[in-house]
Amino acid sequence: MKVSIITVTYNSDATLQHTIDSIAYQDYPDIEYIIVDGNSTDKTVSIIQDNSAIVSLWISEPDTGLYDAMNKGIRMATGDIVGIINSDDFYHRVDAISQIVQAFEDSGEQSVYTDIRFVNPDNLDKTVRYYNSKRFSLRKLKRGIMPAHPTFFTYRKNFEKFGYYRTDYKIAADFELLVRFLHKHKLGHHYLPIDLMKMRTGGLSTKSWKSNYIINQENYRACKENGLDTNYLLLYSRYFKKLLEFFPALF
């Protein structure tokens, strides 16, 4: 199967090369790597151009935000399976994509997800949080708990059938998409017990208390719009689980 991997960038010259290198080192032979840049003003475009042997397709133009750019990449994709890796994340294992493909073939499911490591930006070998997707179940969506979204792969046809990322969400369109796919449309899913990638801390959804407020507002809306009953008490209860993720030795 052909795998399309999409990276969205904007002024990402500090970390993008590392992300590209992690794609280049993969042992899976059929990868289409797509970069969607939001008209960067730093050296991002130069880095993309210097890696033409790895980057299959790319564009650099203004967009209306992260999720708009993700949608552009998915629509550009020609692979059977689609996954997304952020411009400051990287695969730390050469068999990451080959294991994903094997999981699709072995399970026969429509989507696959794994675990993820959050690492210190100044020490990429130091895990500060471990996101374990093993115990995910559909009933946990009403608490705002989802599989690690950056590790979520599904068939491209599912976006065409069930829709793309909602651009009227500021931060939680990834959660909304997973609620829509997994709960509303009952998309089959399979957990692969590996940590697929490392993510530098400091992303959009972890920046401030205001971001967390918006996330919970949007998570509530996502559940309601997709027929999943929840309340704010349930949504805020997930922070007890998140505390455990800061003790990676337990995993």
Residue type, 90: F
Joined tokens for residue 91: 């695969």
**DSSP secondary structure letters along 3-32:** EEEEEEESS-TTTHHHHHHHHHT-S-S-EE
Q: Is 135 in contact with 115 (CB distance < 8 Å)?
A: no
* 3-class secondary-structure state, position 190: strand
CB atoms within 10 A of CB 215: 20
- Tokens 């990676």 sit at which residue? 248
Cα–Cα separations (whole angstroms), residue 71 to 1, 65, 137: 21, 10, 26
Domain ranges of the chain: 3-250
Digitized pLDDT (tens) for each residue of the chain, 251 residues in all: 999 999 999 999 999 999 999 999 999 999 999 999 999 999 999 999 999 999 999 999 999 999 999 999 999 999 999 999 999 999 999 999 999 999 999 999 999 999 999 999 999 999 999 999 999 999 999 999 999 999 999 999 999 999 999 999 999 999 999 999 999 999 999 999 999 999 998 755 445 557 888 999 999 999 999 999 999 888 988 776 566 656 654 54
CB atoms within 10 A of CB 35: 30
- Tokens 């994340």 sit at which residue? 89
| b (16+ CB within 10 A) / e for 116-133 | bbbbeeeeeeebebbbbb
CB atoms within 10 A of CB 17: 18
CATH superfamily of 3-250: Spore Coat Polysaccharide Biosynthesis Protein SpsA; Chain A (3.90.550.10)
How much is the pTM? Answer: 0.92
Give CA–CA dist 160/72, Å, rounded.
Answer: 13
